[in-house]
A and B are shown apart, each in its own frame.
Chain A
Amino acid sequence: MSVIALPGGLRIGVDSGGTFTDVCLWDGAAGRLSVWKVSSTPGDPSEAIATGIGQALAEAGRAGTEVAYFGHGTTVATNALIEGRGARTGMVTTRGFRDVIEIRRQMRPALYDLQARKPEPPAPRDLRLEVAERLRFDGSVETALDEDEARAAVRRLRDAGVEAVSICFLFGYLAPAHEAMVARLVAEEMPGAFVSTSHEVAPEFREYERFSTTTVNAALGPVMRGYLGRLAPRLAAMGVSATPHLTQSNGGVISAEAASRFPVRTVLSGPAAGVTGALAIGRAAGVPGVITFDMGGTSSDVALIDGGRPRMAVDVAVHGNPLRVPMLDIHTVGAGGGSIAFVDSGGLLKVGPRSAGAFPGPVCYGLGNEEPTVTDANLVLGVLNPTHLLGGRMAIDRARAEAAIARLGAPIGLDAMRTAQGIISVVTANMAKAIRVISVERGYDPRDYVLMAFGGAGPLHAARLARELGMARVLVPRNPGILCAMGLLLSDLRTHLSAGRMLPLSPDGLAGLREGFAGLEAQAASWFAQEGIAEADRATARAIDLRYEGQGHELMVDCPGGPLDEAALAEVTRRFEAAHKQVYGYASPEEPIRVVTLRLEATGRVPKADIAAHPPAATDVSDTIIGTRRVWLPEAGAVVDCPLHDRPRLGPGHRVAGPAVIEQMDSTTLLLPGQVATVDPWLNLMIEEAA
């Protein structure tokens, strides 16, 4: 397989979400970007994708054969995980340890909830089979694998109708021979079954997290394979021969083949594409430090980009399953435009995580929900269009929303306006808390970053959120509602390789470091060859997870390229101590440092859609005003007449002074008194406090 870099070829990005499937078409020759939105088909998402691509091509008068690249963000793996629709999965593991994935870390899911439940393990207990084998902590063999017993176990799984097999041995990441042997037995005894081994899926120490990740991967394997198998003929029928590239949770894309072997890597596919889009826009606009704020209908995602690189996460759990695969550090909170506000038993106003969803939706939709949502609050305050949403396509009922909010506020002695503003304040505080998790808790000061707001509701709340956190600038991209689909056209191919190695960070460990990185670099070379990446477009970056000897949590530190010698050791040590100081506030120079995991990021550069600069606007900013809106602003303590600007008419150089409302089909931006928005050459709005 190869990435065909047809000059002038069409590039398509498809973000397949729960409600809408967004299609972005980039015509390189014409330098034109066009966007389609069609309703998703959750039963088989490939159906909406084919419809969307077909319509997009027809509208542009182009043929499927002209498509040179197809980038795809998908929720197939996420939804299968959340809804427990994984394949029938068996497990082969070390004698005495089949319950590791069920006992988990022995903690219960909620400290004070007597009705709490543990998530169902990804393989049921009767399909978790133990075999005699045991490795020691240094990878040496204590008990050799009993091959006959292993073969018998595989046959039992076959006879039980298992579709996927997870192979997980203690310390298997250090010495893969036992796991590899069982994988061969599965290939012999049950050809066609999906195989997932712990040394390939998550080669890092801590057995519960590794076993769980490996078994989740197994359960998702047949699901992803089936999905891609349905997508391929639909694409072929349209003449699209470019194989899909799927976004992974690490923000890079991988081939469909890799995605079907490691579906667990695509669990954050959608939000990761948004971060990639934000990264590209930040890079074009010359903003290397960004906190992304992607607020949709039911939830919001935030992430931090530092020095032009998004942060990778450690210790991630999705739906109660820890996943030890490379993921962007994206923090999700259950609060979006559809989140419901309520007064709790102690008389405080709360918002979410319950959501009115797309149906019945906010009170103002008039479809039966009478509990006010965040969208209703924005409507009552006057920030949103009082009669229609989605560029006039949807009629709404403001009076109904106001009555619901008044009912909510009455018992706590607040009128409708103050209650509505209270809902916004509580949501803003929740968002600020989420941003603190990915910034201050990791040792980063949010005031050093630009807040990039997107998703349908991000730009509505960004100005207040930035003030709450003391952030000086907010960037609203030109198309905030479709940034995820755009991100798909802006991604490089990327894979993260890792190898667990317990070594001292000292001259004694150098041989092990060299051997470990040489192995990873060989893996990267074969991956590049497989993906058809030319020499000139290949790049690798080393990193090492380190901790002080005896510590339990690692810090990931960049490791210089080139020879691994004492100078490189000194540099890595310096970086580790600096990172430790940044995160924990101290370093312990007298303590020995341990290597835990070696990492290699391999990036294959692909041609990407350009983010073009535009010439300065020829019009006066007053020409972009299409009316006024009466907005209740606590900052002014009153209802204020705010000018209403039409976003499509704004061009580079225009300055809009707050208070103001800027409207576009897919979003609405609120500017507060004292803030000024400037349009940059890439048509982004940059909001700052007036000097």
Chain B
Amino acid sequence: MSTAIDPITVEVIGSALSTIVEEMGKAIIRAAYSANIKERRDCSAALFDTEGRIIAQAEQIPLHLGSLLGIAARVLGSTDVAAIQPGDVFIGNDAHTGGGTHLNDIVFLEPVFVEGALVAWVANLAHHSDFVDRGHAHIFQEGLRIPPIRLYRAGVLQQDVMELVLLNCQVPRERVNDFRAQMAANRLGVQRYQALAARYGVAVLHQATRELLDYAERKTRAGIAAIPNGRYEFRAPFDTSLWPELLHLAVAIEVAGDEIRFDFAGNPAQTRSGLNMVFTALQATVYYVVKTLLDQDTPANAGFHRPIRIDAPAGSIVNALPPAAVYSRHDVAQRLVDMCFAALAEAIPDRVPAASTGVTVLTMSGTHPRTGRYYVYNESMGGGFGARAGQDGMDGVHVHTTNSANIPVEALESEQPVMVEAYELVRDSGGPGRFRGGMGIRRRVRAVGHEATVNLGGPCNIVPAWGLEGGLPGGLARVELSAGVAALKRRDGLIPDGGSGAAVTSGGGGRGDPRLRDRDAVRRDLREDRISAEAARDIYGLED
């Protein structure tokens, strides 16, 4: 038995642990090479205890939690722990063997030793813009599968492993330099944790860590207890350009006292497409939903997970089994979040938003006419956030489980053979309501001096983001191609030199009757060209 340490020391150590992961996250962004990490900040960092439980994390993107959840537990379960040495570095990305939620997220995991004993783990992941122009019938088509294996053994690079990985990448020079950034971030984390251990002693550190898990659990339970007990359900059809028919999704949420259960029975079987989610991706999605309902400063450590139970049928689209392809797992994840909020609207209507846009992807690749080398330009786009109780949804943002930055036009065009022709909000895309849904985005990109392979599209092309309390749905998404560009097959196609493709992303749902919207707000939307004169008159009922 251990004696409790005072709450002040716990608070101080908690603050130090969060500083460590924040420093790690910043180190990756600053030192990375590829635009996807340095500009879009598509990376996250975490600390784990010796049982593989998360004790602190700095996530830029909530869905990354799933990727990090997998790897530490997997390494501990499949490796001879006694043989792990200082300077061993594990990498992994395979969604089915515990390294990530899709193959682009490559995780680096390194043990922390103090006086010869393994005391903690540091980990970080980055989304590598690679493995493009692939099939998604099953995971073998999607890229190189890496189970958690050692890239470094006692500080020595395993050159043969590195060569195998790089040979399977389309832009190896970016990969090797991004790997350096990930290595540097973990090194930093190891040093910082060791310094903390030197200061407090490992026993106090571990005790404080246990208390921090308990603390997060208490805060989570307090947050759940504030939701009225009951079973809340929501079903909705879902469309995405990755699948030819509607998918009928279902969620049920049971709140009982200070515990919450998410039941995903009734969802479709896994598909022969990249839409499938592995269980850790589903966990990340659910944890995102719960975290939005708690105090903002609740640490998202393993203690936070304890009062949350998730049931999902194995082999379904939300708990896929090998060899399911998983690249676009965010499509379904984003819609599940909207559905969870719609279900909870019955219990806590003032705290949840109407439905939001999902994620729209825009990837171009080919041979760079200036360098002769292969390039990959990867962008993920947001759109409209659903209207909230008492205020409009945000216009033109990433929503829910993702939050990557855009690539500045001036950075993009300096490096890649493309030109951006427009980057703007889309009129009339915000779902009308007393509080208006957020507006979608248009980004039109031209291929310059070469023929580019393109992967372009997202959800909400048929079924829009719904409103709440009488609010109307947001605008639909679509793809716009310049004359002479052949229609895309699902999302794939070719853009000839000088041709362009645009993503027009969907808007968020509105809230309340649009005729009750504040007249000055309607006039302002009209003046600012956020809504058309017809919409102002016919939908909002503006008479002047």
| Chain A positions near chain B (C-beta within 8 angstroms) | 95-100, 102-103, 105-108, 110-118, 124-126, 136-137, 142, 170-171, 205-209, 344-350, 412, 414, 418, 421-422, 425-426, 429-430, 433, 436, 440-441, 502, 548, 550-553, 583-586, 588, 591
In the bound complex, residues from chain A placing their C-beta under 8 Å from that of B114 are none
Complex contact B397–A118 (CB within 8 A): yes
**Cβ distance B218 to chain A, nearest Cβ, rounded Å:** 5
A128 nearest CB across to chain B (Å)? 9
Beyond A99-B425, A103-B423, A585-B187, is A346–B11 a contact (Cβ under 8 Å)?
no
Pairwise interchain contact A206-B408, C-beta atoms closer than 8 A: yes
Residue of A nearest to B300 (CB): A112
B291 interface residue, CB < 8 Å from A? yes
The stretch among B32-40, B71-79, B468-476, B535-543 that forms the contact with chain A is: B32-40
A205 engages B406 (CB within 8 Å): no
B504 interface contact, C-beta 8 A: no
Once the chains bind, are A108 and B391 in contact (CB under 8 Å)? no
For the complex of A and B, 7 pairs with smallest distance between CB atoms: A552-B38, A96-B422, A346-B219, A125-B528, A105-B405, A137-B413, A584-B31
Of the 9-residue stretches B152-160, B174-182, B238-246, B315-323, which lies at the interface with chain A? B174-182
B403 touches A97 (CB 8 A): no
B347 in the interface (beta carbon within 8 A): no
**Bound-complex Cα distance A586 to B185 (A):** 11
Flag if B414 contacts A205 (CB, 8 Å): yes
Contact of A553 among B29, B173, B396, B414 (CB under 8 A): B29
CA distance A500 to B528 in the complex (A): 33
Q: Contact at A206–B410, with CB atoms within 8 Å?
A: yes
Q: Quick one: given A433-B15, A551-B33, A553-B29, are A105 and B406 in contact (CB under 8 Å)?
A: yes
Q: Which residues of A contact B184 (CB under 8 A)?
A: 584-586
- Whether the Cβ atoms of B410 and A96 lie closer than 8 Å is no
- CB neighbours (8 Å) of B15 from chain A are 429-430, 433
Q: Is B188 at the interface (CB under 8 A from chain A)?
A: yes
Please give the number of chain B residues whose Cβ is less than 8 angstroms from any Cβ of chain A in the complex.
86
- Measured CA separation A280–B424 after assembly (Å): 49
CA–CA, A430 and B292, complex, Å: 24
Please state if A584 and B27 are interface contacts (CB–CB under 8 Å).
yes
Interface string of B440-455 (1 = CB under 8 A from A): 0100100000000000
When A106-B397, A346-B218 are in contact, do A126 and B403 touch as well, CB less than 8 Å?
A: no
Given A205-B410, A206-B411, the answer on whether A346 and B388 have CB atoms closer than 8 Å is: no
Q: Decide: A422 near B7, CB < 8 A? Known: A108-B397, A136-B413.
A: yes
- Add 18 more A-B contacts to A126-B527, A346-B295, A551-B31 (CB < 8 A): A97-B423, A99-B396, A103-B395, A106-B405, A108-B399, A112-B291, A117-B394, A125-B530, A345-B219, A346-B216, A347-B7, A348-B14, A349-B8, A425-B12, A429-B12, A436-B19, A553-B31, A586-B180
CA–CA, A350 and B218, complex, Å: 16
CB within 8 Å of A: which B32-62 residues: 32-35, 37-39, 41, 59, 62
13 A-B contacts, Cβ less than 8 Å apart? A100-B423, A102-B396, A106-B382, A111-B62, A126-B528, A209-B408, A348-B10, A425-B8, A425-B12, A429-B11, A550-B173, A585-B188, A588-B180
- Residue of A at shortest CB range from B15? A429
Give the residue of A114, A348, A412, A418 whose beta carbon is less than 8 angstroms from that of B353.
A114
Contact with A along B212-249 (1 / 0, CB 8 A): 00011011001100000000000000000000000000
B177 touching A550 by the CB < 8 A rule? Answer: yes
Contacts of B534 in A (CB 8 A): none
Partner of A96, one of B180, B391, B413, B423: B423
Judge whether B529 is part of the interface by a CB distance below 8 angstroms: yes
Q: How far is the CA of A296 from the CA of B408 in the complex (A)?
A: 38
Please state if B396 and A106 are interface contacts (CB–CB under 8 Å). Answer: yes
CB-CB nearest in chain B for A550: B33
In the bound assembly, the distance between CA atoms of A98 and B424 in angstroms comes to: 7
Inter-subunit contact B403/A107 (CB<8 Å): yes
Tell me the smallest distance from the CB of A620 to a CB of chain B, in Å: 39
